[in-house]
């Protein structure tokens, strides 16, 4: 089965040694070790597509693990934020959970953990090119206009988490630990207030814009640098700010009220 180009693009290589692929995943999970049966689960998580002549059902099992992992990651981050910060209200919890499981955030996780080269795939040259382009954008200097993360990268993270959740017998504590280690840096309220630029660069679009508004709410007063002009926006005045204006924010300097 042909699973890699002769000269694969950076970030789109293929690790043919499946024992080595398993070891790489377990390192990314902080040393989590799959049980004997869990190795098969992990291989399903790392099977995106195979040659039609090969075993049928691999893609379907990958999708099932992806479905489970999506829900499991949401549960992990919901319980982490609920437990670690009692001051967060329902809206805060929802926004933080959503940001950390967004396609853009998880795609960046997959690049940092070099998960795509571990994925079994067939006839995926256009996808490989897209992943390579995104990988270069993540590993290079921030351009101010982030490329949209390929969904396949987020799918890998979700499928691996789904495999861990099943392998651990649905152990929530294990799930939380794995989610925190795998998905670093975690976007938290504290991190957003201390280093908003780095945290916001993990995201794009609606998720980024929503967190920009949250930062303004949390800090009460922010000085926003927009086209060289500074504007003071207070919490009470947020209702008068258009979503388009907030969506243009790229540099935020926080000052105490």
CATH of the domain at 35: 1.10.1520.10
Domain-embedded: residue 255: no
User: Which residues partner with 143 through β-bridges?
Assistant: none
Domain-embedded: residue 47: yes
Domain-embedded: residue 230: no
Domain-embedded: residue 238: no
Q: What φ, ψ does residue 220 adopt, rounded to 5°? A: 75, -55
Number of domains in the chain: 1
Q: What's the domain range around 96?
A: 18-186
C-alpha angle with apex 217: 215 to 220, nearest 5 degrees?
100
Q: pLDDT below 70 — which residues of the chain?
A: 1-6, 50-56, 143-145, 220-257
pTM for this prediction = 0.82
Domain-embedded: residue 222: no
Domain-embedded: residue 6: no
Domain-embedded: residue 143: yes
Domain-embedded: residue 140: yes
Which pLDDT belongs to residue 243? 45
């Amino acid at each position: 089965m042909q699973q890699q180009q002769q000269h694969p693009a950076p970030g789109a290589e293929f690790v043919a040694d499946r024992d080595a692929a398993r070891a790489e995943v377990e390192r990314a999970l902080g040393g989590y070790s799959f049980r004997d049966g869990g190795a098969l689960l992990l291989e399903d998580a790392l099977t995106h597509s195979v040659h039609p002549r090969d075993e049928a059902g691999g893609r379907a099992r990958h999708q099932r693990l992806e479905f489970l992992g999506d829900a499991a990651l949401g549960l992990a981050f919901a319980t982490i934020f609920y437990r670690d910060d009692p001051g967060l209200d329902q809206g805060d919890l929802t926004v933080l959970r959503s940001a950390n499981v967004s396609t853009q955030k998880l795609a960046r996780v997959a690049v940092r953990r070099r998960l795509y080269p571990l994925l079994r795939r067939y006839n995926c040259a256009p996808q490989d090119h897209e992943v390579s382009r995104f990988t270069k954008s993540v590993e290079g200097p921030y351009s101010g206009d982030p490329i949209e993360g390929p969904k396949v990268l987020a799918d890998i993270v979700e499928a691996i988490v789904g495999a861990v959740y099943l392998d651990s017998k649905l152990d929530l504590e294990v799930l939380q630990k794995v989610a925190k280690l795998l998905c670093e840096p975690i976007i938290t309220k504290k991190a957003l207030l201390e280093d908003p630029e780095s945290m916001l660069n993990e995201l794009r679009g609606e998720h980024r814009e929503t967190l920009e508004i949250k930062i303004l709410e949390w800090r009460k007063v922010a000085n926003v640098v927009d086209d060289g002009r500074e504007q003071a926006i207070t919490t009470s005045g947020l209702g008068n700010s258009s979503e388009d204006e907030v969506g243009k924010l790229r540099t935020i300097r926080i000052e105490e009220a």
